[in-house]
Amino acid sequence: MATFIDVHPQNPQQRNVDRAADVIRDGGLIAYPTDSGYALGAQLGNKDALDRIKAIRHLDDKHHFTLVCKDFAQMGQFVHVDNSIFRAVKAATPGPYTFILPATKEVPRRLLHAKKKTVGVRIPDSKVVRALLAAVGEPLLSTTLILPGHTEPMVMAWEIADLLDGQIDAVVDSGEDVIAEPTTVIDYSEGHAEVLRVGAGDPAPFQ
């Protein structure tokens, strides 16, 4: 059974945040709440966790995995952001958007799109996530927790623990209503904005 870690949504308790960070650093896979549903999260270089994520979500090499970053400066270490798109991306962060951008050499090869050499990045507008990222000290390998056959992310901690029993190590429960909409995905891999998925973020600025 996955460990439950209760974290206050507005004033995350450092002790409990550190518990979740320890699970990640020890090679575990967690489910955690964001500003657009729950997500699965692990260390960037954790191949076992990556394989578990693929199995849970039935993903292939064409899926864009996401690096969840604490701020724009950290994001810039892992993706190339040209001056022509800097303002648009900056204006939408933090928020419920995922941006597909060319990856730098800092990103493990196994996380890249098989053909495009791109990766997803995002900065959630969530105090819980920001506290977790600060405790871990690096971006999280992440993907929205949308189960096969579904279109919306999971939002209930107890349901996640029940359905994914034995497949994840911990569930962070913030005790608040989590939005049941995935991120809006904007692809900049060709140098211009293409809306791949409309979700919680307003797509209008990118259309």
The three-state secondary structure class of 179 is coil
The backbone torsions φ and ψ at residue 173, rounded to the nearest 5 degrees and listed phi first, read -115, 115
Tens of pLDDT, residues 137-190: 999 999 999 999 998 899 999 999 999 999 999 999 998 778 889 999 999 998
Give percent of the chain above pLDDT 70.
Answer: 100
Tens of pLDDT, residues 60-116: 877 888 999 999 999 999 999 988 888 999 999 999 999 999 999 999 888 887 778
How far apart, in whole angstroms, are the C-alpha atoms of residue 133 and residue 62? 26
How far apart, in whole angstroms, are the C-alpha atoms of residue 38 and residue 152? 10
Contact 55, 108 (CB under 8 A): no
Q: Tokens 């569930």 — which residue?
A: 171
Contact 39, 181 (CB under 8 A): no
- Could you give all domains of the chain from N- to C-terminal order, each with its CATH number? 3-206 (3.90.870.10)
How far apart, in whole angstroms, are the C-alpha atoms of residue 44 and residue 142? 9
How far apart, in whole angstroms, are the C-alpha atoms of residue 9 and residue 176? 7
